[in-house]
A and B are shown apart, each in its own frame.
Chain A
């Protein structure tokens, strides 16, 4: 089992997410999904797992600003793939992340993932991956291409002992697109924010009812 780091959720899921699975984290625009992703990575760093954070929406530096633990482990057992800073034209000063020339360069992204996995992989080590987010990939690519990317990348990540969270915005894409992507993953964590309360459920993992949780925002 892979703990998400959110105690109530792990409890409801009888220990955590299934190891080597692909999980879709879906919710309306807002910081909750990233909060879950950060918890997930922090738990991994505490457990000694290797971690990969793929960012398409913000720079790795901004992610680190939300978590000192991530900043401390970056370039060691945490690797960032930066698909965002290409808009600046070059790698931000002082960073050593793997750079991808943009969210439409999906082969470059898969090269980056392969590089990162090579660095992180050890036969007995668990790996954690966050893809933040599929929504950006869908903005820049034909949905068919994103499906194939998700399917192939997901299968590869599983075979390298990784458990992956794919983040996606609710309400931003065609319902058909979201349904297809749900079919490509092993389970789904749904997120919502009700008057400031963060609620989660994971029906395929035994958490059928919404539960209130705390995540950093």
Chain B
């Protein structure tokens, strides 16, 4: 078994990657998938790793990996295959290098040579998308060569998904596929990975993470529950949460409601903001780590919708996925969800809820989480 080195990922893979398989680590542009390769190197100290680098000098990869708190000794044992220098007409300083780094065949040939000479256990290709960029028509031939190499070692390819149709073709040729995605393209701060293909059983739940000094750090995403004064935010949180606390004074929330919920394996922290206007700044603070927003309105009080619309405008500046809960549906004067949507002038999904009984609350939350997880970036 080859460990990915990220415990949550190993767990989802049922222990790790089986030997002699083809592994694709695919990411949307702008994500550093190299860190996943570093984790793998770090987690398997007994394995010999050959690392093909096609888009930078090997020294730059040495420097990049040393930015993280990984043990240097393991990284010093990597045999780099320089598939960059000769493309620039420069001599390579490495023991292994492609004679002509502009040619896919030449790169593969040097990788084959290094794998044999080093008796490698793992071959990392950094990156498959870069190599395909040189000549996209060579995909089949290249995969065939890598497949042959996988009889001798595991082959781990880093890949950036620039093109969806190419990706679907590439993906079908691998045994394992791990996707790195982001919820929101713009800031890329809300990233998650998930296993989408494996030979045996696997767990395809999305795992949010950040990249910090010690590499990939898994964390619990936040969902913000907001809405005008007395819309039922606190009741909502207490109803859906496994555990919840509130800071109250004179019957209203003055600091934060905090709850915790699990759905489709995603563990989510819920943060409720006070509804009063003077607490608006808290939205800005909370938004930084937020994955999505539930806006709760009191369906019996259309006069508060103006305020709700302003809150929505405030939140939508961050382009977060959101959903509207039309609360207090049990009261006779409550407007129907469709009517609420009309008055709010929004295309968002509006769900009828009764926070006091919990009706519709979990459904609203589940729908939001599904929206977050399924949001495709390409």
Binding site for B on A (CB under 8 A): 86, 89, 101-102, 104-108, 110-111, 113-114, 117-118, 121, 123-124, 141-142, 144-145, 148-149, 152-153, 155-156, 159-160
A contact face: mostly helix, strand, loop, or mixed: helix
Provide 16 A-B residue pairs closer than 8 Å at the C-beta atoms, listed in order of the A residue.
Answer: A101-B56, A102-B84, A104-B55, A104-B84, A105-B130, A106-B162, A107-B55, A107-B130, A114-B30, A121-B187, A142-B135, A148-B163, A149-B29, A155-B185, A156-B186, A160-B186
A114 to B210, CA, bound (A): 14
Whose C-beta in chain A lies nearest to the C-beta of B134?
A: A142
Find out whether the CB atom of B30 lies under 8 angstroms from the CB atom of A104. no
Whose C-beta in chain B lies nearest to the C-beta of A160?
A: B186
Distance of A131 from chain B, by nearest CB (Å): 15
| Size of B's binding interface in residues, CB under 8 A | 33
Distance of B88 from chain A, by nearest CB (Å): 8
Whose C-beta in chain A lies nearest to the C-beta of B287?
A: A123
Distance of A159 from chain B, by nearest CB (Å): 5
Distance of A105 from chain B, by nearest CB (Å): 4
A86-B60, A141-B133 given; A107·B29 CB < 8 A: yes
A177 to B218, CA, bound (A): 42
Given the complex, which residues of A lie within 8 Å of B30, measured CB to CB?
Answer: 107, 110-111, 113-114, 156
Find out whether the CB atom of B317 lies under 8 angstroms from the CB atom of A124. yes
A23 to B135, CA, bound (A): 29
A142-B134, A145-B162, A159-B319 given; A121·B55 CB < 8 A: no
Distance of B70 from chain A, by nearest CB (Å): 19
Find out whether the CB atom of B162 lies under 8 angstroms from the CB atom of A148. yes
Judge whether B220 is part of the interface by a CB distance below 8 angstroms: no
Find out whether the CB atom of B185 lies under 8 angstroms from the CB atom of A156. yes
Find out whether the CB atom of B56 lies under 8 angstroms from the CB atom of A152. no
Partner among A107, A117, A121, A156 whose Cβ is within 8 Å of the Cβ of B160: A107
Whose C-beta in chain A lies nearest to the C-beta of B57?
A: A101
Q: Can you name 17 extra interface pairs (CB under 8 A) apart from A106-B55, A123-B318, A155-B185?
A: A89-B57, A89-B59, A101-B55, A104-B55, A104-B84, A104-B87, A106-B160, A107-B130, A108-B56, A110-B29, A118-B189, A145-B133, A145-B162, A152-B29, A156-B186, A159-B186, A159-B319
A124-B317, A152-B29 given; A108·B187 CB < 8 A: no
Whose C-beta in chain B lies nearest to the C-beta of A157?
A: B186
Given the complex, which residues of B lie within 8 Å of A155, measured CB to CB?
Answer: 185
A142 to B138, CA, bound (A): 14
Given the complex, which residues of B lie within 8 Å of A106, measured CB to CB?
Answer: 29, 55, 130, 133, 160, 162
Lowest 10 A-B CB distances belong to which pairs?
A: A101-B56, A123-B317, A114-B30, A110-B30, A145-B133, A105-B55, A148-B162, A110-B29, A107-B160, A101-B60
